[in-house]
Structure 1
Amino acid sequence: MAMERAQRFVDALAKLEEGGELEPLVSLFSDDAQVSNAASQRMFSGREGARQFWKEYKGTLARVKSTFRNMIESADRVALEWETQGTAHNGSAVSYEGVSILEWDGDRIRRFFAYFDPGLLGREMAYGTAQRSEPPATTPA
């Protein structure tokens, strides 16, 4: 299967975003993995670092859902173009997009880095300025 590793990551991320299941995603990372993104000041190392990174990711938003436009897999590299929508803990709608690069060592991820505009995400979380986000859910009267 040409896209097997890309799909394994996407499926594990969906389990985290939808149900809070952290371990399916963490189990994809190697013991010496390097994990980070454009908003982070640090590189998270190893499987424990991956666990902390993804726990913080999930904790950043009250609700989160990623969709993938493009998944490109070649040799030991995967590129994922995505859009993430959600709701910040203050109720602000969030919608941001970017690209994640995954480097694999066999069946484990040795490096993960996500590229996106952290300033845009911060403004959306603080001020609710997302243009593509769905309106907050309302309850029937």
Structure 2
Amino acid sequence: MERAQRFVDALAKLEERGEVESLVSLFGEDAQVSNVASRRVFSGLEEVRQFWRDYKGTLAQVRSTFRNMIESGDRVALEWETQGTAHNGAAVSYEGVSIIEWDGDRILRFYAYFDPGLLGREMAHGTAERSEVPATTPA
């Protein structure tokens, strides 16, 4: 579970302090990242960096918690719930699963599965229960 925990710890640094480099440093030069809400695959370290900056910029406040972390060979599955506050003050709470493929100690591919329609409605209309994410300021 060491690789799964490294990812979770680096994601927490991004969400809490806006520190993107700890997360990007886990990815290989040719890594690919995406999710069901994106129409594109982000390839290479500069695009990986952009993907994670965009993720952090989507919500004013954000915090993910993990229910299950499953590691088998070079694959990790993370079941998570993310809570936060949109820039318009709307509470956001959504859940999903991320699949991470590793090549040794570097991430080769990251893909997140969740309901993008639900997230969009929550961001626009504040339909989630009020989140208890504390206010943070990016580093």
TM-score range, shorter chain: over 0.9
Question: Number of residue pairs matched?
Answer: 135
For the 8 Å contact 1:33–1:109, the answer to whether it is kept is yes
**Residues in 2 aligned to 1:34 and 1:10: alpha-carbon distance in whole angstroms:** 18
Partner of 1:89: 87
Partner of 2:124: 126
**Residues in 2 aligned to 1:55 and 1:11: alpha-carbon distance in whole angstroms:** 16
Please give the secondary structure, in 1, of the residue aligned with 2:5: helix
The aligned runs of 1:21-100 (5 Å cut-off) are 21-100=19-98
1:26-77 superposed Cα distances (whole Å, 9 cap, x missing partner):
0000100010001001100011111000000000000000000000000000
Q: In 2 relative to 1, CA 103–128 (structure 1 residues): closer, same or farther, beyond 3 Å?
A: same
Q: In 2 relative to 1, CA 132–92 (structure 1 residues): closer, same or farther, beyond 3 Å?
A: closer
Please give the secondary structure, in 1, of the residue aligned with 2:32: strand
Q: In 2 relative to 1, CA 14–95 (structure 1 residues): closer, same or farther, beyond 3 Å?
A: same
Partner of 2:11: 13
Please give the secondary structure, in 2, of the residue aligned with 1:89: coil
Partner of 1:115: 113
In angstroms, what is the RMSD of aligned CA positions?
1.5
For the 8 Å contact 1:93–1:136, the answer to whether it is kept is no
For the 8 Å contact 2:96–2:112, the answer to whether it is kept is yes
For the 8 Å contact 2:61–2:133, the answer to whether it is kept is no
**Residues in 1 aligned to 2:108 and 2:133: alpha-carbon distance in whole angstroms:** 38
Residue 131 (structure 1) shift: 3.3
**Residues in 1 aligned to 2:131 and 2:63: alpha-carbon distance in whole angstroms:** 11
Gap regions ≥5 residues in structure 2? none
Radius of gyration: which is bigger? Answer: 1
Q: In 2 relative to 1, CA 108–135 (structure 1 residues): closer, same or farther, beyond 3 Å?
A: closer
Q: Which amino acid aligns with 2:58?
A: T
**Residues in 2 aligned to 1:10 and 1:17: alpha-carbon distance in whole angstroms:** 10
